[in-house]
Amino acid sequence: MNTAPDRLRTKASWLVNQAATVAHRLALNEFARSGARRYHYGILAAIDENGPSSQATLSRCTGIDRSDVVAVINELSDADYVERAPDPADGRRNLITLTDTGARRLEHLEEQVSDTQDVFLAPLEPAERAQLTRLLARVVEHHQG
């Protein structure tokens, strides 16, 4: 097995990228088992936490491109996980709302995400997992702000 050069293995940015590749693969495989995509989870979670939302708001809070949000909303709507309705405050846009079926789907996907986190973070103790998550959140929030 080839080992990456020390210069790479001591760079946080390189390590985060390598870890992200593993996490992405694990998530794709887990979601594929239930016919879902990671964007489904992100959109359903955002609506659940923020309430009915416009497509533009969902794009901003999930980091999913607006054109991709439209396609994901179409898929979720076709499966009866979300509903579109005109926004009473602005008839030019729709509000996306989670259905009861969508809430149950989100619970199922949440279990899958938790299982994936356990596999991804298996070499770490619970306190280390929490610390890593806090540190990564700080880095992400710094660069998003």
Query: Mean pLDDT in the chain?
Result: 94
DSSP string, 63-110: T--HHHHHHHHHHHHHTTSEEEEEETTEEEEEEEEE-HHHHHHHHHHH
User: For the domain 31-144, what is the CATH code?
Assistant: 1.10.10.10
Question: What is the reported pTM?
Answer: 0.86
**What are the sequence ranges of the domains in the chain?**
31-144
For residues 130-145, give the mean pLDDT.
Answer: 93
- What are the pLDDT digits (tens) for 6-36? 899 999 999 999 999 999 999 999 999 989 9
Q: Which of the pair, 121 or 2, is modelled with greater confidence?
A: 121
- Rounded CA gap, 140 and 46, in Å? 18
Position 1 scores a pLDDT of 63
Position 4 scores a pLDDT of 87
